[in-house]
Amino acid sequence: MNGEVGPTHRLGALPSRLMDWQLGPDQKTFAYGGDEVEVSVWNTERAFEPRPCSSAVSAGSQKRKRTEDLFPGEVWRAKNVANDYLGLRQPVHNTCLTYLPSSSSSSQPQILAGTRFGDLRRYDTRCGRRPVGDFKGVGKAGGVKSVANGLLEQ
């Protein structure tokens, strides 16, 4: 074999119940969401670059990992909507999503996501992790199956 090394293969880990995955309009980001998977935006290049093995990092230099920390390559992640009127956590069932056209030259996208419960949520990644628009009951039977950009900005 002349000492040549063949291609190496690495297994990646994606959430197991993804419902939709969209490439951004600039092809520098992608977003996904699904059953119990919040809408998340990733940098395309950083998401797939190799990372050093976690065992190579010494235990003394590791910082405490919090649940709201982003993964390497992840740019933004939505936060679940507020609890219902009984104080119970609302389940996450994203069925579809799309990038909305941005009127400004900002590289931060806006995303529209549909849910199994018939709700539409608009996220502005510049304004925080909660939805800036939450439209309840738009899809009455069967939830929202597909969302797409219209011809006009409104």
Task: Indicate which CATH number applies to the domain containing 105.
Answer: 2.40.10
- Per-residue pLDDT tens for 92-127? 999 999 998 876 656 678 999 999 999 999 999 888
- Give how many domains the chain has, as a whole number: 1
Tell me the per-residue pLDDT of 120-131, one tens digit each, with 9 for 90 and over. Answer: 999 998 888 989
Structure tokens at 93: 């069932």
Query: Which domain, by its residues, includes 27?
Result: 18-47+72-135
Task: Please indicate, yes or no, if residue 53 is contained in any of the structural domains.
Answer: no
CA distances from 29 to 3, 126, 138 (A): 37, 15, 28
Identify the burial level of 121 via C-beta atoms within 10 angstroms of its C-beta, where 0-12 means exposed, 13-18 middle and 19 or more buried: buried
**60, exposed or middle or buried, with CB in 10 Å at 0-12, 13-18, 19+?**
exposed
Element (H, E) at 38: strand 37-43
The answer to whether the CB of 20 falls within 8 A of the CB of 38 is: no
**Is 91 contained in some domain?**
yes
**Model's pTM, two decimal places?**
0.75
